[in-house]
Amino acid sequence: MTDTNGERRGRLSPAVAVVRSAVSDFFDRHPVSNGSLVLVALSGGADSLALAAATRFVCAKRGLRAGAIIIDHGLQSGSAELAATVLETANSLGLEPVEVVHVVVGTEGGPEAAARDARYAALRSAAERHGAAVILTGHTRNDQAETVLLGLSRGSGPGSLRGMAERDGLIGRPLLDVTRESTQAAALADGLVPWDDPHNSDERYSRVRVRHAVLPVMETELGPGIVDALARTADLVRDDDDALDLLAEGMGRNVIATDPVSIDVDDVESRPRALRTRIIRIAAYRAWGTTITHAQTRSIDALLTDWHGQGKVDVTGGSVVRHDGRIRFDPAS
């Protein structure tokens, strides 16, 4: 009979072992101080349940404390009752502290983005409130593959194709190399009963369509291994993107002047476009504290590399003009 330690007749479930190893490896790469609090974002789904059970086990071995945060988005009838059920499960796993956080989901960016923004804001706030060293989410390799495909569909470059980072400030994602099939098997082996979110079958959401329609077709037409290939692409793109960001930041310290923020044309125009555009975005952020769009970046880049007397470029936060051999970032009047 299966117990909450993921063992059957004295043998550890392979799926439970995989999830525990992933959590343990995460702490090897991202160590926290002895006695630190680790929080799990617990939704009641198989991914987060498997993560919660594994985190409780690994933290006990490492002298860490393990708790959970349950986010009630209030988007479905009975969400409060579900949160209460997940709370009981968290308590049964021995997690402490456990808190249910109710959030209000806005509308900006669409329902998926709005729910995600509200959830992450609540998780970071809870981590700070409880003094947690890190808060873990149950994103799997399948989620990473879906994220890469969605980014590809937007055509927004490496910033989208890099997928989700394993560590992003207070947020940790230890299961990015673990498949959804493994987390589902681990949850069942741990004697846990996952909740199946109806939104995961609602094809109004683009991620659901990718999961149930796009990826299966790709697997059928191109062969198995698509999920691994997409997740591996995210790893490779992230490495390259991080390296280019570091190079651009270093160059920016030398070529971006202040008061007013400006760039010397001769210093930048001959550099590779991947670096020029990053330097432009760094300058724009220094000038206005805002992020400019891809189209705005290309228009400013044309002031550097395709100059034929064109006037100022109006962008988010202000305007950019070429004057006396410099690209000047002026605030809005």
Same-domain status, 216 and 292? no
Please classify residue 198 by burial: count the beta carbons closer than 10 Å to its beta carbon, then call 0-12 exposed, 13-18 middle and 19+ buried. exposed
**Quick check: is 107 in a domain?**
yes
pLDDT at 204: 76
Same-domain status, 11 and 56? yes
Same-domain status, 149 and 280? no
**Quick check: is 238 in a domain?**
no
Same-domain status, 273 and 223? no
Please classify residue 144 by burial: count the beta carbons closer than 10 Å to its beta carbon, then call 0-12 exposed, 13-18 middle and 19+ buried. buried
Do the Cβ atoms of 168 and 132 come closer than 8 Å?
no
Same-domain status, 113 and 190? yes
Q: Residue 327's domain spans which residues?
A: 258-331
Same-domain status, 50 and 93? yes
Token reading at 176: 């990015």
Specify the CATH number for the domain of residue 210. 3.40.50.620
**Quick check: is 91 in a domain?**
yes
Whole-model pTM? 0.85
Query: Given 215, 231, 247, which residue is the final one in a domain?
Result: 231
Count Cβ atoms below 10 Å from residue 131 Cβ, excluding itself.
Answer: 9
**Quick check: is 210 in a domain?**
yes
pLDDT at 5: 62
Same-domain status, 71 and 179? yes
**Quick check: is 240 in a domain?**
no
- For strands 37-41 and 134-136, give the pairing: parallel
- Spans of the chain, pLDDT less than 70: 1-10, 74-78, 109, 111, 156, 198-200
Same-domain status, 163 and 279? no
Specify the CATH number for the domain of residue 318. 1.20.59.20
**Which neighbouring-strand residues pair with 167?**
172
CA distance 278 to 271: 11
The structural domain count of the chain equals 2
